[in-house]
Structure 1
Amino acid sequence: MQTSSRTATILKRTAVVVAMVFAFFPIYWLIATSFKPFDEWASWPPVWLTENPTLQNYRIVFFPEAAREFAAAQQGSLDYKVSGSAWKAFQDSAIISTFATVLSVVFGTLSAYSIVRFRTGGENYPFQFLTVRMMPPIAVVVPMVALFAILRLSDTYFGLILAYTAFTLPFSIWMIRSFIEEVPAELEGAAMVHGMSQFRAFLTVTLPLVKGGILATALFIFILNWSEFLFALVLTSGKITTVTLQVANYVSASSGKLYGVQAAMGTISTLPVIVFGYLIQKHLVRGLSFGAVKR
């Protein structure tokens, strides 16, 4: 009995280790590639850990003169987009992702509260929201491009914020709805008996109780917005550049894709998400577990 139990424990731990290797290897490879020199980016056999680490890839990301030096060293040329600094891409992504996340969470919270407390739209109304998330974004890209061109929203902050908010709102509503359902309506009723309005009871009673869930939702929405590529590609034409577009732009006429520079850009672009998650970590565990068990 003890032998079988010990074997089962070993197998479970082995499975966890294997799963962790599969989960973390892409992250390791991304960081490792960002420090590799040009001749090790796509070498065979692959270089698992470079013996000649370099910061050249990070310099190309932020300093145009470093890109020109790289082009000269490779006896080739880089197009203009690659030689530009990535600062603007981070600035544009920060503005668009932050505002889109705030709008999605605010409207999602109000909509979820209306659905839970007032049964807005009936029992099947929440599922109708999910149909938007089930629809692949590519299916609506062409009409969106035409509509945004007519409204002159193409290649603008407001246009991308509107698009991101529209496609993350169903996810926001669905998640926050499950958190609000766990708060008994009797708590708000007691507050209203003492003279509070329905909206004030929501702000002072319900909202603090679901704060962790809202912050967890905000993190997921921010990740979706920060990593979005399709809408940024088709709804912009050069004036607005997001992080994902900047990564795709790292292509050299002589060297093809600049894998090391793309890896450096990808490594840096993960930092805002990590920082955001760290800042809300004390609310994150409760937020992710809140609503998991139905009453």
Structure 2
Amino acid sequence: MQNRPLTPLLALVLAAALAVTLFPVFWVVMTSLKPPTDWNAAPAIWVPSEPTLANFRTLFDPSALEAYGLSGVSQPATPAILGSLLAAVLATLLSIAIGLASAIGLSRYAKLSKWTPLVILSGRMFPPAAIAVPFVIMFSAVNLIDSYAGLIAIYVAVTLPFSTWMLKSFVDDLPREIEQAAMLDGRSRLMAHLLVTIPLIKGGVFATTMFIFILNWSEFMFALVLSYTSVTTIPVQLAKYVTATAGTLYGVQAALAVLAMLPLILAGYAIQGHLARGMTFGAVKR
């Protein structure tokens, strides 16, 4: 099958789509470099004439904006950055580990009915606001409110349906004969899966890991209702940059948003080969 030639019209459509997609990123980056006088300027200032790093400094030194006559930033963003990193990484690893074991079990050893997909994915069919209150009540009873253990537990619970079903699709596309050949060579079922199944679907595992990490890294609702003072994350911290004198600190919010994007960009670049393979794994059926 030959590639479709890039016509001028198609190039124009792709350029327009790229511009629309990247404009929010451009605007956030530019806002993070604007001094406070440019945040609410009318007409809007697209590119600051005097860019500043004061917004980024404010994330770690709340007094950095006092040079512009602004005050009221009460706490640095360091605890939120570290909290998001800890919760997202641990929750992603647990979700992938449990989801991978479940995916192999469902794909290889379970007799599934037509209702199985509905049962597995039913946990994601409700909006977070609908299930947040029951979780708050349960976690209050076992003293998991405002703790990393509670936050990680809820992250695992809400992402496990995704990780299980996505990984199951990759395992389904792997011929059983490969595992059977390993067992004929003397491997146990467990070792056949560890040494054969998982390495052969590593592209799918990496792709699923990236997807789950993005969900955990950007989650807001559960982090808001389950954390108070001891635990905080970047999405919750973004909502705190509002002062009585200056209102919403758009530049500081944009600076934190830029820092929040960096792990996703770096991780995506580092595993782009595996990610591309994982997203197309199973596109051609046996």
Interval containing the TM-score (normalised by the shorter chain):
over 0.9
Query: What aligned pairs does 1:264-279 form with structure 2 within 5 A after superposition?
Result: 264-279=255-270
Q: Does the residue aligned with 1:64 lie in a helix, a strand or coil?
A: coil
- Name 1:170's counterpart in structure 2: 161
Which string of whole-angstrom CA distances, capped at 9 and with x for unpartnered residues, describes residues 134-172 of structure 1?
211111111111111111000000000000000001110
Distance 2:250 2:96 in 1: 35
Q: Secondary structure at the match of 2:268?
A: helix
**Segments of 4+ moved more than 6 angstroms:** none
* Residue equivalent to 1:184: 175
CA distance in 2, matches of 1:123, 1:180: 18
Name the structure 1 match of 2:238: 247
User: How far apart, in 2, do the equivalents of 1:120 and 1:224 lie?
Assistant: 30
Q: Deviations over 1:149-198 (max 9, x none)?
A: 11100000000000000000111011111111111001111111111111
Q: Report whether the alignment pairs 1:130 with 2:126.
A: no
Q: Aligned partner of 1:277: which letter? A: G
- Count matched residues: 283
Matched, 1:95 2:91: no
Residue of structure 2 in register with 1:48 after alignment: 46
SS in 2 for 1:245: helix
DSSP-derived class of the 2:7 partner:
helix
5+ residue gaps in structure 1? none
Question: Cα distance, 1:239 vs. partner?
Answer: 1.0
Correspondence 1:59 to 2:50: no
1:117 Cα offset (Å): 0.5
Distance in 2 (CA, whole Å) between partners of 1:120 and 1:56 is: 59
Structural mapping, 1:15-26, within 5 Å: 15-26=13-24
How far apart, in 1, do the equivalents of 2:52 and 2:111 lie?
A: 58
Q: Deviations over 1:239-262 (max 9, x none)?
A: 101011111111111111100000
Structure 2 residue 11 is the aligned partner of structure 1 residue 13: yes
The alpha carbon displacement at 1:274 in A equals 1.6
Which residue of 236, 249, 256 corresponds with 1:258?
Answer: 249
CA RMSD in angstroms, aligned pairs only: 1.6
Aligned mates of 2:122, 2:196 — CA distance in 1 = 31
**Code of the aligned partner of 1:51:** S
Residue 158 of structure 2 corresponds to residue 160 of structure 1: no
Partner of 2:206: 215
Structure 2 counterparts to residues 145-156 of structure 1, below 5 A:
145-156=136-147
The alignment status of 1:73 with 2:64, answered yes or no, reads no
TM-score, length-normalised on structure 1? 0.92
Q: TM-score, length-normalised on structure 2?
A: 0.95
Provide, for residues 103-122 of structure 1, a one-character-per-residue CA deviation record: whole Å limited to 9, x for no partner. Answer: 00011111111111112553
**Distance (Å, rounded) in 1 between the aligned partners of 2:169 and 2:53:** 46
Q: 106-115 or 121-130, which moves further after superposition?
A: 121-130
Is the CA contact (8 Å cut-off) linking 1:34 and 1:262 kept in structure 2? yes
Identity of aligned residues (%): 46
2:63 aligned counterpart, secondary structure: helix
Q: Answer yes or no: is 1:238 the counterpart of 2:236.
A: no
Q: Give the aligned residue type for 2:207.
A: A
The letter for the 1-side match of 2:167 is I
- Cα distance in structure 1, aligned partners of 2:283 and 2:256: 36
Residues 50 and 152 of structure 1, relative CA distance in 2, 3 Å threshold: same
Find the aligned partners of 2:99 and 2:111 in 1 and give their Cα distance: 13
SS of match in other structure, 1:83: coil
In structure 2, distance between residues paired with 1:107 and 1:86: 32
Q: Any idea what the Cα deviations from partners look like across 1:45-103, whole Å, max 9, x if unmatched?
A: 11011101011111111112315x25x714xx41xxx3311111111111100000000
Give, in angstroms, the shift of residue 123 of structure 1: 4.1
Q: Is the 8 A contact 1:32 1:49 kept in 2?
A: yes
Question: Which one-letter code corresponds to 2:47 in the other structure?
Answer: L
Q: Which runs of 5+ in 2 are unaligned?
A: none
Question: What residue in structure 1 maps to residue 29 of structure 2?
Answer: 31
Q: Determine if contact 1:37/1:260 at 8 Å carries over to the other structure.
A: yes
Aligned partners of 1:174 and 1:42: how far apart in 2?
45
Q: Which amino acid is the alignment partner of residue 118 of structure 1?
A: Y
1:16 maps to a residue whose letter is L
Q: Secondary structure at the match of 1:221?
A: helix
The yes-or-no answer on 1:141 pairing with 2:137 is no
SS in 2 for 1:208: helix
